[in-house]
Amino acid sequence: MDLDATDRRILNALQRDGRMTNADLAETANLSPSACHRRVQRLEAAGVIDRYVALLDARRLGWPTTVFVEITLSGQADELLDAFEAAVRRVPDVLECHLMAGSADYLLKVVAQDTDDFARIHRQYLARLPGVAQMHSSFALRTVLRTTALPV
């Protein structure tokens, strides 16, 4: 989809504050409220705007520990990849799972309350994922940059 400067202003504003009113968004985008609403509907219909969510503070909710887990599987057959991906979707503590090119097959972003909680997640879920040959976990010491905003 071709985005013009007005679409980009709308998208940037919504990425900063998805709850802003249409009137405020229209003012930011230099549009009338009705024209702005039509543009947002078009962006939603095209799938450019996927959904609206609330971003929660993991630390304040009791999950201050972020762990990145590199997983290498025992093989690359489609059945094994499908089984792994289906199983990892059921792990409640996994925020992200990426199929990778490089030394690991998958990279997981996991949240935990502390190291003991991560040990529980590892025993209860990660060690039981199908086809895992190797697993390496790295604990994040500090988050330097965290954003969901895409550079539009």
pLDDT tens for residues 82-124?
999 999 999 999 999 999 999 999 999 999 999 999 999 999 9
Q: Which residues belong to CATH 3.30.70.920 in the chain? A: 65-139
Does the structural domain 65-139 have CATH classification 3.30.70.920? yes
| Tokens describing residue 81 | 């990849």
The structure's pTM equals 0.90
CATH number among 1.10.3720.10, 1.10.1740.10, 3.40.50.720, 1.10.10.10, domain 5-45: 1.10.10.10
Q: What is the pLDDT along the chain (152 residues), one digit of tens a residue?
A: 899 999 999 999 999 999 999 999 999 999 999 999 999 999 999 999 999 999 999 999 999 999 999 999 999 999 999 999 999 999 999 999 999 999 999 999 999 999 999 999 999 999 999 999 999 999 999 999 999 999 99
Which residues in the chain are classed under CATH 1.10.10.10?
5-45
- Cβ(71)–Cβ(108) under 8 Å? yes
Distance of alpha carbon 55 from alpha carbon 6, whole angstroms: 25
